[in-house]
Structure 1
Amino acid sequence: MPRPAPRTPLRFSTQTLLLQLGVVLLVVLLSTAVHAWLTYDRVGSDAENQALTLARTVASDPSVRADVLAISGQAGTPPPAELAAGPLQAAAEAVRTRTGALFVVITDETGLRLAHPDPDRLGEGVSTDPSEALAGQEITTRNTGTLGPSAGAKVPVYAPDSNTVVGEVSVGYSMETVGQSVARDIGPVALTAAGALGAGVLGSFLLRRRLQRLTLGLEPEEISTLVHDQVAVLQGVDDGVIGVSADGRISVFNAASQRLLGLPDLTGTRWADAPVPAQLAALTRPGYAGPEAVEVVAGGQVLVASARKALHRREDLGWVLMLRDRTELQQLTRQLDAVGTLSDALRAQRHEFANQLHTLAGFMGIGQHQQAREYLAGLAATGPLRFPVDQAELLQDPYLQAFVGAKGVEADERGVSLRIGPETLVRGQVSEAQDVTTVLGNLIDNAVNAAVAGSAEDRWVEVEVLDEPGAGGGTLHIVVADSGNGLAPGTGPEDVFASGFTTASGPVRAGGGQGFGLALARQLARRRGGDVTLLAAGTDGGPGAVFMATLPGTTAARAAAPGRAATPGRAATPGKDNDA
């Protein structure tokens, strides 16, 4: 037999609505029932008190007391006809008619009726126990007698001027009358209950709509799945993800964002108050007309940030910002640029080197040994390669010679003369080539750009490098000056290190961006315990700005060549005598 199709479960919002309606209905019914019971009990108690007051009044009437005593003193009870025509029956009926009571009954000391609304019941015993009243006690009762259910009271009748009980008076009000009073009182209660039920139903529908809007129509199982997926994705990716809700608060700040920005978890913080870089905050500002992706320097890293508007159907959910780390890519690019620069410089010098070898071979071939020795001495003094860098021989470290020489080739192509300052002294050997390349290369590139953009006819960049030995590695001090126009008036010494700061109106050379070199150099130096500072802002027309970098732990002591001791104060250079 085919299996029946599974029943589609009710949506969570529908289940919540039905549950709320059931709860509201139950509360209203219980409240109405309790109020009705309390009203019924209160009206019944009022009837009992009213019956007790009426019974006391009748029992204290002197004529009633005298007539009851007279009948009690007789040998037997008078016949019903005589009792019906007697004064007690007339008095009891008059009181009952006047007060609207169900019955007013008078009995003798044995409980036989002397007055009763039904004349046929005269002379008979009462249907309820009269012993407590005949014993001298006043009581209130709710019971069912010959006239139906009633709320009443029983009061003893005493002989005139005596404490002897000669009978009792029983007064009762019909419970049907009590029910009618309750019905009159319960009407407003029922209307109130109906109003409360209607308000509850309306509130339940409004709450259901709000619940659907807040959950975007998703079921609890779907929300739970989304939460697990969100945690798995956001915490598992290397990209930073920042979610900003429509009310301007950070709703998502994953671990990658904390690591890339160097900040604690900012979830719940107002986006306007978050300590994030200005370029990142600007992406979400109204009317932002900049690029979709910007580079941000934070925590010593270069990040690419982008922002997208988050929409669900037509509802604005806020912003989603993505952060991608491109520090390693930029470092590799710089290293490749340095290698390419060195390769170009070496390729440019290849012909000169070949010519020098040919010249030396010619001297040896014709027997001019003395001229060959002098030619070799000249090569040893200046180096086999000639970079367009003035006083390049002051750089004793081969890595610095090669790197600065390559930068000199680039600068020469752009009409800028790169020279080494006369105070340059490097006795150690560069041990952290990558960091030195990043800082020194950025400073030289910025200086060359400033010299190209400057108004001076003689364009130059001067570099001075000093090393300071230390137990944990030597400290390299670098000073770079240029012939540019300096910084614009009003530019503070810290403004130039802000991410994105540049004085150029456009790229100074093809493919060159501005605004991140100095910020990167300073953060790298500070990470090593050093710094990059502005020594002089320069003047219009030149000379330009002067920057100094301090890089601790980037040099090591140079080992002396075999068979030659290093001269104090300056490292020995093969083929050249060095002065102290």
Structure 2
Amino acid sequence: MHSSDRARQNLPGASRTRFATRALFLQLGTVILVVALCTGVYLALAMQQLRKESETSALNIARTMAEDPTVRQLVTEFSADPGTPLAADLRDGELQYTARAIMARTGGLFVVVTDDHGIRLAHPNADRLGKEVSTPYAKVLEGHEVVDWEVGTLGESARAKVPIYALQPGEFVSSREQPVGEVSVGFERGSVFTDLPMLVGSITLAALGSLALATLAMLLMRRRLERATLGLQPEDLAALVQNQTAVLDGVGDGVLGIDPDGIVRVCNSAAERMLNLVDPVGQPITALGLSDALLASLALPSTSDEDRTRALNEGIVHGERILYLEQRPVERNGQQLGRVVIVRDRTDIVALSQRLETVSAMTGALRVQRHEFANRIHVATGLIDAKRVAEAREFLGELLQRGSVEYPVPGLDTLGDSFLQAFLGAKALEAGERGVRLRIAEDSHVHGTVCRPEDTAAVLGNLVDNAISAAVRGPAPRWVEVALFDDASELVLTVADSGDGVPAGRDPFAGHGDNQDLSSDASTTDEVHGFGIGLPLSREIARATGGELWLMDAGGTLGAGAGAGAVFAARLTDAVEPPRSGEGHSEERT
């Protein structure tokens, strides 16, 4: 069962109907309403158009007949007769014949002609001739044309009523002073909407076609939506967002989500802080200003256990941090979604490891010192037991003058702190085993007492170890020179060697290696320099309390003279406790 399925089951009150299905029904209902509304409006407009066309046809026929000279002449004569015409005379009259002929040609329901009193002079029903019409005619006799739908003796119809004007005697000129009758032409309601069924059928087919196309489009949209969301529903997406927020903000490690195109899609605040990123989401990983070492590590995802193990064991220097990266590919339903990068800040752990290594080295030096001191006490005890008191006194006097252990370090007596003497003495023994001579600069002077031995030993020990490694790879004679000065509470030190120096264009603090004299040979660099975190870490320790560590000279013309290797310097604040008044230099020595 996928996590999305479990999340969906755990959602309280979540609908069992899939969102895509609900969206399909909603869209389909909307389309149906829109199509029905459009169909209704179109039908209404079509019916209105049909009514308008029938009214226009009736009006044009009525106007044509009202302008006919014969009709006007006959109606003028009937209107001038004060009596009422007989139906028998009208049945076979010319007006009746003309009206029937027009009805036959136009398919009208009726063509009615009246005089100025509304008496029918022509009518489809001969029995109604000579009788007054059933619909109003006063407005027409006032000279107005009337177009309307009315219900008369022949039923409801679209009719047009046009006034008939008399002719001047002997001329075909109309007299527009007073109408002498009217012409009324009507079309039956059924004939008006004869084409309506065909029109409705066409509209229905168009509406059904529109619904079919809309349904197909929505089905395709639904499929696309499910594919884009990987089958997740809105409830699932909401649960994933909540879970993602809780996980990303609830861990101290940095988390980066990178899609197959190398675009950052997820980045929590811890990753932004560790990698010094600003709004990385949506940007390519190559555009975030990361170091070359980080980009090389992020170039390809780690798919094997060996790659993941190496990623966990190798540190990468980024700025002042020692970072460890772990990558894991992400896929769903066989589709590669990208990879997740876990970023862990191990600066404090590595710094503590460096301090522990320094303490271990000091412990070994003190063990050697204790062993040597025990041997000398045994010698003195033997001389006393042998009753050779004078020789024992002389031996103890020499010990008092030169100290408990004689380290092979020229200039060591210029340092008034026993910790520095023991530490550099132990480093001198290690350097001697590798064929390198360690010496103290003649102008060195430390009168105070070191009060931060762990940080001092970590910085000084790393610089000395790097210098020894560089000297071993350099020409003979091989040496390392250390200069130390105290200024109130600050401790200033420089370390020079006889190595080849730092190659031009190479930043020793960029994580290329621990050795201060970086070689251009990649294999040598990897063998000697380890993972490249010593110098950046030492600088981080120095800067932690306001100090600094820097490269004074890459080629070696300072301090020890021409031909020397690189010269590194460091300033440690609050590292020395100044001597109290009255305390001398010799009192600090051991």
Shorter chain as denominator, the TM-score bin is: 0.7 to 0.9
* AA in 2 matched with 1:93: R
Q: Secondary structure at the match of 1:320?
A: strand
Residues 575, 65 of structure 1: alpha-carbon distance in 2 compared, 3 angstrom cutoff:
closer
Quote how far apart the aligned CAs of 1:373 are. Answer: 6.9
Identity fraction in percent: 40
Choose from 348, 355, 362 the match for 2:368.
348
1:3 match: none
Kept in 2: contact 1:240–1:256 (CA 8 A): yes
Residues 53, 516 of structure 1: alpha-carbon distance in 2 compared, 3 angstrom cutoff:
same
Choose from 225, 248, 264 the match for 2:278.
264
1:404 match: 424
**Separation of aligned partners in 2, 1:378 and 1:73:** 170
**Separation of aligned partners in 2, 1:245 and 1:36:** 54
* AA in 2 matched with 1:310: V
TM-score by length of 1: 0.85
Kept in 1: contact 2:258–2:340 (CA 8 A): yes
**Separation of aligned partners in 1, 2:255 and 2:532:** 24
**Separation of aligned partners in 2, 1:366 and 1:19:** 112
**Separation of aligned partners in 1, 2:552 and 2:566:** 6
Residues 110, 286 of structure 1: alpha-carbon distance in 2 compared, 3 angstrom cutoff:
farther
Choose from 530, 533, 541 the match for 1:513.
530
Quote how far apart the aligned CAs of 1:40 are. Answer: 2.0
* AA in 2 matched with 1:215: T
Q: Secondary structure at the match of 2:70?
A: helix
Quote how far apart the aligned CAs of 1:323 are. Answer: 0.5
* AA in 2 matched with 1:285: A
Kept in 2: contact 1:246–1:317 (CA 8 A): yes
Kept in 2: contact 1:277–1:296 (CA 8 A): no
Residues 369, 145 of structure 1: alpha-carbon distance in 2 compared, 3 angstrom cutoff:
farther
TM-score by length of 2: 0.84
Residues 100, 512 of structure 1: alpha-carbon distance in 2 compared, 3 angstrom cutoff:
same
1:210 aligns with 2:230: no
Residues 134, 348 of structure 1: alpha-carbon distance in 2 compared, 3 angstrom cutoff:
same
Residues 120, 520 of structure 1: alpha-carbon distance in 2 compared, 3 angstrom cutoff:
farther
Q: Secondary structure at the match of 1:110?
A: coil
**Separation of aligned partners in 2, 1:377 and 1:151:** 145
* AA in 1 matched with 2:548: G
Quote how far apart the aligned CAs of 1:552 are. Answer: 4.6
Q: Secondary structure at the match of 1:163?
A: strand
User: CA-to-partner distance for each residue in 1:354-409, whole Å, 9 max, x for gaps?
Assistant: 13334455677789888767655644554323344332222323333333233333
Choose from 324, 328, 333 the match for 2:353.
333
1:467 aligns with 2:486: yes
**How does 1:219-238 map onto structure 2 within 5 Å?**
219-238=233-252
Choose from 462, 468, 481 the match for 2:496.
481
1:278 match: 292
* AA in 2 matched with 1:468: D
**How does 1:53-92 map onto structure 2 within 5 Å?**
53-92=60-99
CA RMSD of aligned residues (A): 3.3
Q: Secondary structure at the match of 2:32?
A: helix
Quote how far apart the aligned CAs of 1:235 are. Answer: 0.3
**Separation of aligned partners in 2, 1:548 and 1:466:** 14
Quote how far apart the aligned CAs of 1:412 are. Answer: 3.0
Kept in 1: contact 2:302–2:329 (CA 8 A): no
User: CA-to-partner distance for each residue in 1:499-539, whole Å, 9 max, x for gaps?
Assistant: 24563655899997242212223344455352412512369
User: CA-to-partner distance for each residue in 1:161-190, whole Å, 9 max, x for gaps?
Assistant: 252233222222334344234555566554
* AA in 2 matched with 1:533: L
Residues 351, 434 of structure 1: alpha-carbon distance in 2 compared, 3 angstrom cutoff:
closer
Choose from 553, 567, 571 the match for 1:547.
567
Choose from 502, 505, 514 the match for 1:492.
505
**Separation of aligned partners in 1, 2:27 and 2:280:** 37
Quote how far apart the aligned CAs of 1:243 are. Answer: 0.8
Quote how far apart the aligned CAs of 1:50 are. Answer: 2.8
**Separation of aligned partners in 2, 1:508 and 1:414:** 18
Greater mean alpha carbon deviation, residues 287-296 or residues 398-407? 287-296
Q: Secondary structure at the match of 1:242?
A: strand
Residues 181, 559 of structure 1: alpha-carbon distance in 2 compared, 3 angstrom cutoff:
same
Quote how far apart the aligned CAs of 1:337 are. Answer: 0.8
Greater mean alpha carbon deviation, residues 136-145 or residues 362-371? 362-371
* AA in 2 matched with 1:23: T
1:164 aligns with 2:178: yes
- Structure 2, unaligned stretches of length 5 or more? 1-12, 168-174
1:118 match: 125
2:444 match: 424
Greater mean alpha carbon deviation, residues 309-318 or residues 271-280? 271-280
1:303 aligns with 2:323: yes
